A and B are shown apart, each in its own frame.
Chain A
């Protein structure tokens, strides 16, 4: 009698253990499958097409001044592209502002090529049948930082200020959902559908997330830049529209970029 009870109890335990184990295995395998999918796609990342187009746009003469961007200073001296993105955003003495890559490109296209900033900021992100200069240049310049460790500084007071403003925006709750970036990106093991959401308050996650943008989005067939990423995060939170290259967007980029310091940059990548 005693023995029968014992056996039954043991069997029940085994069933409980099995289901608990089964659920987590399923979750894990979904994540692993997505990772496998990314690796399979990584071999033929169409972002390379953007990189190639960006490189020729960088060297081509354009705009009212009929000049190329080859003298554009991305922070490491005029024309130095290699490794420049790993140290952005940064303070630029010539514009007196902290700039991320995309706002710096607006500055360069206006000073070197004579394209009005309003014009350079118009429709920065591609869509069906519309390829943009911004997407291509970003793909090219970021690809030139692949493998280089992130090294964003806040030694200039304006850089430190941008970081602090970015941190505040990250934790600021608002909008109809009473959301902050941190609502989804400040907790472990959170997903939207099958997408893992990185906990950006943790260094490892912050590094892995930041160094994987820009990315070719298979579902959209476009290379998406970091400004696009932030704009869409704001939309998903139902925040007011985040203007392209606005001070707020650069500050938030500063916060996220600096938190990724020390990790090798590894983009343009490929995402679902």
Chain B
């Protein structure tokens, strides 16, 4: 089970500013546990943001991104009351989508 993201979407001038917190281990695959065995890699690979069904951000992530990542971006064309949806997919195929209303 994955934890929900925390998404804030607010108008900033004529653009929408989106701030997203994701709950994820972001394990690089380089670390070892106390017994010396490698901890398997587990990180978000794909992040997509959509607004009214249109992709406004698409990103490929790797193991260099921190644990519990924070993502902030702006896009044009959004209005208060509309929805922004964020989806991430990790290297184990796990997926999570959450939504926020622009305020």
Contacts and interface: CB of A to CB of B under 8 A. Distances in A.
Contact of B3 (A43, A49, A218): A49
B101 interface: no
A43 B19 contact: yes
Contacts of B68: 46, 49, 221
A48 interface: yes
Contacts of A221: 66-68
Nearest to A53: B3
B21 interface: yes
Contacts of A43: 19, 70, 72
B39 interface: yes
Contacts of B3: 49, 52-53
Given A52-B3, A221-B67, A46 B25 contact: no
Interface residues of B, number: 14
Contacts of A45: 21
Contacts of B27: 128
Interface in A103-137: 128-129
Interface residues of A, number: 12
Contacts, number: 33
Interface in A3-56: 43-46, 48-49, 52-53
Given A44-B70, A44-B72, A221-B68, A49 B21 contact: yes
A53 B21 CA distance: 13
Contacts of B19: 43-44
A218 B27 CA distance: 15
Interface string B1-44: 00110100000000000010101010100000000000100000
Contacts of B72: 43-44
A66 to B, nearest CB: 19
Interface of B: 3-4, 6, 19, 21, 23, 25, 27, 39, 66-68, 70, 72
